Amino acid sequence: SPSSYCSEHCPELDVQVTPEPGTKCPICLEPVEDRMSFRTMVCPACKRAWFHRDCIQGQAMRAGLLFFQCPLCRDGEEFVVQMFIMGIRIPFR
């Protein structure tokens, strides 16, 4: 799926955590990478929800700005701001 940033110039979350071995994306239930990357992201609020960029982008498109939140902790403020900065498109509707 198209992104606002290429993988080389994408901003990075300032979160110094890594996922536990076997961590799965709460959206697709498939394993995530073993570290943060362009394709693997973490919730900046709870730092426990790891998800794929494509999965969270799909959730953003379905939810829209007012209902987009972390799939685990349900944070909707810091989460939305950081996802926007990270290049996730969030429609207003």
Domain assignment of residue 59, yes or no: yes
Domain assignment of residue 19, yes or no: no
Predicted local confidence at residue 29, as pLDDT: 97
* Residue pLDDT, tens place only, 36-55: 999 999 999 999 999 999 99
* CB environment 59-90: b (16+ within 10 A), e (fewer): bbeebeeeebbbeeeebbeebbebbeebbbeb
Domain assignment of residue 2, yes or no: no
Full residue range of the structural domain in which residue 65 is found: 24-92
Domain assignment of residue 77, yes or no: yes
Long-range contacts of 35-41 (CB under 8 A, 24+ apart): 36/12, 38/7, 38/10, 41/13, 41/83, 41/86
Predicted local confidence at residue 1, as pLDDT: 41
Mean pLDDT of the chain, nearest integer: 89
Domain assignment of residue 7, yes or no: no
Q: What is the distance, to the nearest Å, from the Cα of residue 24 to the centroid of all Cα atoms in its chain?
A: 13
What's the whole-model pTM score? 0.81
Count of domains for the chain: 1
Question: pLDDT band for position 17 (50/70/90)?
Answer: confident
Domain assignment of residue 61, yes or no: yes
